[in-house]
Amino acid sequence: MTLSNRINIMSKKQKLELTWIGKDKRPRLEPRILLEDKALSYRATEKDRRGSEEDLRSEDLRGSEADLRGFQNLVGLNHHDNLLIHGDNLLALKALEQRYAGKVKCVFIDPPYNTGSAFTHYDDGVEHSLWLSLMRDRLEAIVPRLKKVIDGEDQGGISKAVNWQGGGFRYFRLAPSLLKKDSWGNWIINKAYNAEMLSETMCKHMGYIYAPSQEIFWQHGYATENSYIYVTTGTLGHDQLKLISSEIGTGRSLLICCKGFMANTDEFSNLTLKKIPQAVLHKCEWDHDDYSFAINVLPDEQDAEGDENE
Protein backbone atom coordinates (compact mmCIF):
# COMPACT_ATOMS: atom_id res chain seq x y z
CA MET A 1 0.00 0.00 0.00
CA THR A 2 1.40 3.32 -1.01
CA LEU A 3 1.61 6.27 1.37
CA SER A 4 -0.99 8.24 -0.59
CA ASN A 5 -3.52 5.37 -0.39
CA ARG A 6 -2.94 5.03 3.37
CA ILE A 7 -3.59 8.76 3.86
CA ASN A 8 -6.83 8.54 1.84
CA ILE A 9 -8.08 5.63 3.96
CA MET A 10 -7.26 7.42 7.19
CA SER A 11 -9.00 10.60 6.04
CA LYS A 12 -12.23 8.66 5.44
CA LYS A 13 -12.36 7.27 8.98
CA GLN A 14 -15.12 8.76 11.07
CA LYS A 15 -13.93 11.01 13.89
CA LEU A 16 -15.20 10.72 17.41
CA GLU A 17 -17.83 13.33 18.19
CA LEU A 18 -19.56 14.31 21.41
CA THR A 19 -23.32 14.33 20.84
CA TRP A 20 -26.47 14.70 22.89
CA ILE A 21 -30.20 15.14 22.45
CA GLY A 22 -30.97 18.57 21.06
CA LYS A 23 -27.35 19.35 20.13
CA ASP A 24 -28.33 20.73 16.73
CA LYS A 25 -31.14 22.86 18.11
CA ARG A 26 -29.74 26.30 18.85
CA PRO A 27 -31.88 29.16 20.16
CA ARG A 28 -32.27 32.11 17.80
CA LEU A 29 -31.65 34.77 20.42
CA GLU A 30 -33.18 38.22 20.23
CA PRO A 31 -30.56 40.97 20.67
CA ARG A 32 -32.22 43.02 23.42
CA ILE A 33 -31.16 46.50 24.47
CA LEU A 34 -30.32 47.36 28.08
CA LEU A 35 -32.45 49.77 30.11
CA GLU A 36 -30.66 51.48 32.98
CA ASP A 37 -32.43 51.71 36.34
CA LYS A 38 -30.72 54.82 37.69
CA ALA A 39 -32.31 54.34 41.09
CA LEU A 40 -30.25 51.15 41.48
CA SER A 41 -27.05 52.35 39.78
CA TYR A 42 -24.31 53.42 42.17
CA ARG A 43 -21.05 55.32 41.88
CA ALA A 44 -18.39 56.64 44.18
CA THR A 45 -18.50 60.21 45.40
CA GLU A 46 -16.17 62.82 43.96
CA LYS A 47 -14.18 62.68 47.22
CA ASP A 48 -13.65 58.94 46.90
CA ARG A 49 -12.49 59.30 43.32
CA ARG A 50 -10.11 62.17 44.09
CA GLY A 51 -8.66 60.10 46.93
CA SER A 52 -8.01 57.22 44.56
CA GLU A 53 -6.17 59.47 42.12
CA GLU A 54 -4.08 60.97 44.92
CA ASP A 55 -3.20 57.49 46.19
CA LEU A 56 -1.99 56.57 42.73
CA ARG A 57 0.16 59.66 42.39
CA SER A 58 1.75 58.97 45.79
CA GLU A 59 2.92 55.49 44.75
CA ASP A 60 6.11 54.65 42.90
CA LEU A 61 4.32 55.12 39.59
CA ARG A 62 4.11 58.84 40.39
CA GLY A 63 1.19 58.93 37.98
CA SER A 64 1.86 59.82 34.43
CA GLU A 65 -1.40 60.57 32.64
CA ALA A 66 -1.20 57.18 30.93
CA ASP A 67 -0.74 55.47 34.31
CA LEU A 68 -3.69 57.36 35.73
CA ARG A 69 -5.95 56.40 32.88
CA GLY A 70 -4.90 52.77 33.26
CA PHE A 71 -5.62 52.93 36.99
CA GLN A 72 -9.01 54.49 36.35
CA ASN A 73 -9.87 51.62 34.04
CA LEU A 74 -8.62 49.11 36.60
CA VAL A 75 -10.57 50.35 39.60
CA GLY A 76 -13.64 51.36 37.65
CA LEU A 77 -13.49 55.13 38.06
CA ASN A 78 -15.31 55.19 34.77
CA HIS A 79 -18.36 53.50 36.25
CA HIS A 80 -19.95 53.24 32.81
CA ASP A 81 -17.73 50.19 32.20
CA ASN A 82 -19.10 48.27 35.20
CA LEU A 83 -22.49 46.71 34.50
CA LEU A 84 -24.96 44.74 36.60
CA ILE A 85 -27.61 43.18 34.37
CA HIS A 86 -30.87 41.68 35.61
CA GLY A 87 -32.39 39.15 33.24
CA ASP A 88 -31.93 35.76 31.60
CA ASN A 89 -28.18 35.18 31.40
CA LEU A 90 -28.24 33.95 27.79
CA LEU A 91 -30.20 36.99 26.62
CA ALA A 92 -27.88 39.23 28.65
CA LEU A 93 -24.84 37.79 26.86
CA LYS A 94 -26.55 38.34 23.52
CA ALA A 95 -27.25 41.95 24.51
CA LEU A 96 -23.51 42.46 25.13
CA GLU A 97 -22.37 40.70 21.97
CA GLN A 98 -22.30 43.67 19.59
CA ARG A 99 -20.10 45.80 21.85
CA TYR A 100 -17.92 43.20 23.58
CA ALA A 101 -17.51 40.33 21.10
CA GLY A 102 -13.82 39.42 20.90
CA LYS A 103 -12.87 41.75 23.75
CA VAL A 104 -13.63 39.63 26.84
CA LYS A 105 -10.46 38.18 28.37
CA CYS A 106 -11.86 36.38 31.40
CA VAL A 107 -15.26 35.11 32.55
CA PHE A 108 -16.10 33.69 35.98
CA ILE A 109 -19.51 32.19 36.64
CA ASP A 110 -20.18 29.45 39.16
CA PRO A 111 -23.49 29.69 41.05
CA PRO A 112 -25.16 26.53 42.33
CA TYR A 113 -27.47 25.47 39.51
CA ASN A 114 -29.46 22.97 41.58
CA THR A 115 -28.48 20.10 39.32
CA GLY A 116 -29.10 17.39 41.91
CA SER A 117 -25.42 16.66 42.52
CA ALA A 118 -23.99 16.32 46.01
CA PHE A 119 -20.82 18.28 46.70
CA THR A 120 -18.59 18.45 49.76
CA HIS A 121 -19.50 21.97 50.79
CA TYR A 122 -23.10 22.30 49.59
CA ASP A 123 -26.06 20.30 48.36
CA ASP A 124 -26.89 21.12 44.74
CA GLY A 125 -30.18 19.26 44.73
CA VAL A 126 -32.36 21.07 47.25
CA GLU A 127 -36.09 21.64 46.83
CA HIS A 128 -36.52 24.33 44.19
CA SER A 129 -38.33 26.89 46.30
CA LEU A 130 -35.64 26.55 48.97
CA TRP A 131 -32.95 27.02 46.33
CA LEU A 132 -34.66 30.20 45.12
CA SER A 133 -34.73 31.54 48.67
CA LEU A 134 -31.05 30.75 49.17
CA MET A 135 -30.08 32.48 45.94
CA ARG A 136 -32.27 35.51 46.72
CA ASP A 137 -30.73 36.01 50.15
CA ARG A 138 -27.22 35.87 48.79
CA LEU A 139 -27.87 38.15 45.85
CA GLU A 140 -29.46 40.69 48.17
CA ALA A 141 -26.29 40.62 50.27
CA ILE A 142 -23.99 41.31 47.31
CA VAL A 143 -25.11 44.82 46.36
CA PRO A 144 -24.63 46.40 49.83
CA ARG A 145 -21.08 45.04 49.95
CA LEU A 146 -20.38 46.31 46.45
CA LYS A 147 -21.40 49.78 47.58
CA LYS A 148 -19.12 49.58 50.63
CA VAL A 149 -16.19 48.47 48.46
CA ILE A 150 -16.85 51.35 46.08
CA ASP A 151 -16.95 53.81 48.99
CA GLY A 152 -13.75 52.34 50.47
CA GLU A 153 -15.50 51.16 53.64
CA ASP A 154 -14.99 47.43 53.02
CA GLN A 155 -11.35 46.43 52.51
CA GLY A 156 -11.97 42.71 52.46
CA GLY A 157 -10.83 40.38 49.69
CA ILE A 158 -8.29 42.02 47.36
CA SER A 159 -9.60 45.55 47.91
CA LYS A 160 -6.88 46.43 50.41
CA ALA A 161 -4.11 44.65 48.51
CA VAL A 162 -4.71 46.69 45.34
CA ASN A 163 -5.98 49.81 47.16
CA TRP A 164 -9.26 49.50 45.23
CA GLN A 165 -11.44 52.57 45.72
CA GLY A 166 -13.86 54.67 43.77
CA GLY A 167 -15.70 53.56 40.67
CA GLY A 168 -19.23 52.26 40.71
CA PHE A 169 -21.62 50.34 38.53
CA ARG A 170 -24.65 50.85 36.36
CA TYR A 171 -27.66 48.64 36.92
CA PHE A 172 -29.52 47.47 33.84
CA ARG A 173 -32.57 45.42 33.07
CA LEU A 174 -33.09 43.64 29.78
CA ALA A 175 -35.67 45.39 27.63
CA PRO A 176 -38.81 43.40 26.86
CA SER A 177 -39.12 41.69 23.51
CA LEU A 178 -39.44 44.09 20.58
CA LEU A 179 -42.36 42.18 19.12
CA LYS A 180 -45.55 40.88 20.70
CA LYS A 181 -48.53 39.12 19.16
CA ASP A 182 -51.79 41.01 19.03
CA SER A 183 -55.19 39.46 19.69
CA TRP A 184 -55.26 38.20 16.09
CA GLY A 185 -51.93 36.43 16.35
CA ASN A 186 -49.96 38.99 14.33
CA TRP A 187 -46.52 40.22 15.40
CA ILE A 188 -46.56 43.92 16.23
CA ILE A 189 -44.14 46.34 17.87
CA ASN A 190 -44.34 46.06 21.65
CA LYS A 191 -46.28 49.01 23.08
CA ALA A 192 -43.67 49.30 25.85
CA TYR A 193 -41.20 50.63 23.26
CA ASN A 194 -40.80 54.36 22.80
CA ALA A 195 -39.09 55.95 19.79
CA GLU A 196 -35.62 55.91 21.38
CA MET A 197 -35.85 52.25 22.38
CA LEU A 198 -37.08 51.30 18.92
CA SER A 199 -34.20 53.13 17.23
CA GLU A 200 -31.56 51.52 19.43
CA THR A 201 -33.08 48.07 18.97
CA MET A 202 -33.32 48.34 15.20
CA CYS A 203 -29.68 49.45 15.10
CA LYS A 204 -28.74 46.20 16.85
CA HIS A 205 -30.82 44.06 14.52
CA MET A 206 -29.51 45.71 11.36
CA GLY A 207 -25.85 45.79 12.44
CA TYR A 208 -25.49 49.52 13.10
CA ILE A 209 -23.96 51.37 16.04
CA TYR A 210 -26.60 53.39 17.86
CA ALA A 211 -25.40 57.01 17.95
CA PRO A 212 -28.28 59.45 17.45
CA SER A 213 -27.37 62.89 16.18
CA GLN A 214 -28.67 65.93 18.05
CA GLU A 215 -28.69 68.03 14.87
CA ILE A 216 -29.69 65.68 12.02
CA PHE A 217 -33.02 63.93 12.58
CA TRP A 218 -32.33 61.01 10.23
CA GLN A 219 -29.00 60.01 11.79
CA HIS A 220 -29.85 57.42 14.44
CA GLY A 221 -26.75 55.31 13.98
CA TYR A 222 -23.97 54.33 11.60
CA ALA A 223 -22.27 51.27 10.12
CA THR A 224 -19.41 53.17 8.49
CA GLU A 225 -18.51 56.84 8.23
CA ASN A 226 -20.73 57.09 5.13
CA SER A 227 -23.52 54.65 6.00
CA TYR A 228 -26.34 55.64 8.36
CA ILE A 229 -29.68 54.38 9.66
CA TYR A 230 -32.98 56.17 10.33
CA VAL A 231 -35.83 54.55 12.28
CA THR A 232 -39.39 55.85 12.40
CA THR A 233 -42.86 54.46 13.07
CA GLY A 234 -44.28 56.82 10.48
CA THR A 235 -45.19 56.23 6.85
CA LEU A 236 -42.98 58.22 4.50
CA GLY A 237 -44.14 59.81 1.25
CA HIS A 238 -42.33 60.80 -1.92
CA ASP A 239 -41.64 64.39 -0.87
CA GLN A 240 -40.18 63.34 2.50
CA LEU A 241 -37.90 60.79 0.89
CA LYS A 242 -36.81 63.28 -1.75
CA LEU A 243 -35.83 65.79 0.94
CA ILE A 244 -33.88 63.19 2.93
CA SER A 245 -32.17 61.89 -0.20
CA SER A 246 -31.05 65.38 -1.19
CA GLU A 247 -29.60 66.00 2.30
CA ILE A 248 -27.61 62.79 2.16
CA GLY A 249 -26.19 63.59 -1.24
CA THR A 250 -23.70 61.46 -3.12
CA GLY A 251 -21.09 59.27 -1.48
CA ARG A 252 -23.32 58.44 1.49
CA SER A 253 -26.17 55.99 2.04
CA LEU A 254 -29.09 55.70 4.45
CA LEU A 255 -31.07 52.67 5.60
CA ILE A 256 -34.61 53.72 6.53
CA CYS A 257 -36.67 51.42 8.75
CA CYS A 258 -40.23 52.66 8.80
CA LYS A 259 -43.82 51.52 9.15
CA GLY A 260 -44.47 52.08 5.46
CA PHE A 261 -43.66 54.21 2.43
CA MET A 262 -45.55 55.52 -0.58
CA ALA A 263 -42.99 56.17 -3.28
CA ASN A 264 -41.01 54.60 -6.06
CA THR A 265 -37.81 53.74 -4.20
CA ASP A 266 -35.86 53.31 -7.44
CA GLU A 267 -35.76 57.11 -7.67
CA PHE A 268 -33.46 57.34 -4.64
CA SER A 269 -30.22 55.46 -5.18
CA ASN A 270 -28.78 56.49 -1.81
CA LEU A 271 -31.77 55.19 0.18
CA THR A 272 -32.67 51.64 1.21
CA LEU A 273 -36.13 51.24 2.73
CA LYS A 274 -37.35 48.40 4.93
CA LYS A 275 -40.67 48.04 6.71
CA ILE A 276 -40.91 47.22 10.40
CA PRO A 277 -41.62 44.77 11.84
CA GLN A 278 -41.42 42.79 8.57
CA ALA A 279 -37.69 43.48 8.21
CA VAL A 280 -36.85 41.61 11.42
CA LEU A 281 -39.62 39.01 11.71
CA HIS A 282 -37.40 36.06 10.80
CA LYS A 283 -34.20 37.20 12.50
CA CYS A 284 -34.75 35.54 15.89
CA GLU A 285 -37.21 34.09 18.40
CA TRP A 286 -39.60 36.72 19.70
CA ASP A 287 -41.19 37.15 23.11
CA HIS A 288 -39.05 34.43 24.68
CA ASP A 289 -37.75 35.53 28.07
CA ASP A 290 -36.55 32.33 29.74
CA TYR A 291 -33.76 30.14 28.39
CA SER A 292 -33.09 28.30 31.64
CA PHE A 293 -32.65 24.54 31.55
CA ALA A 294 -35.86 22.55 31.93
CA ILE A 295 -34.35 19.44 33.52
CA ASN A 296 -36.05 17.48 36.29
CA VAL A 297 -33.12 16.22 38.30
CA LEU A 298 -35.02 15.20 41.41
CA PRO A 299 -37.32 12.14 41.34
CA ASP A 300 -41.01 12.64 41.84
CA GLU A 301 -42.36 11.48 45.19
CA GLN A 302 -44.50 8.87 43.46
CA ASP A 303 -41.51 7.47 41.58
CA ALA A 304 -39.46 7.38 44.77
CA GLU A 305 -42.15 5.40 46.58
CA GLY A 306 -42.34 2.94 43.68
CA ASP A 307 -38.59 2.32 43.85
CA GLU A 308 -38.79 1.59 47.58
CA ASN A 309 -41.53 -0.98 47.08
CA GLU A 310 -39.57 -2.93 44.47
Q: Is residue 117 part of a domain?
A: yes
Residues 244 and 168 in one domain: no
Residues 86 and 37 in one domain: yes
Residues 41 and 145 in one domain: yes
Q: Contact at 8 Å (CB) between 232 and 259?
A: yes
Q: What is the pTM of this model?
A: 0.71
110-146 pLDDT tens trace: 666 666 665 655 556 666 677 677 667 666 667 777 7
Q: Is residue 290 part of a domain?
A: no
Residues 115 and 60 in one domain: yes
**Residue 186 sits in which domain range?**
179-280
Q: Is residue 82 part of a domain?
A: yes
Residues 103 and 233 in one domain: no
β partners of residue 230: 256
Which range among 1-15, 25-39, 41-55, 149-163 has the greatest average pLDDT?
25-39
Residues 46 and 133 in one domain: yes
- Which of 111, 146, 174 terminates a domain? The answer is 174
Q: Is the pLDDT of residue 199 over 60?
A: yes
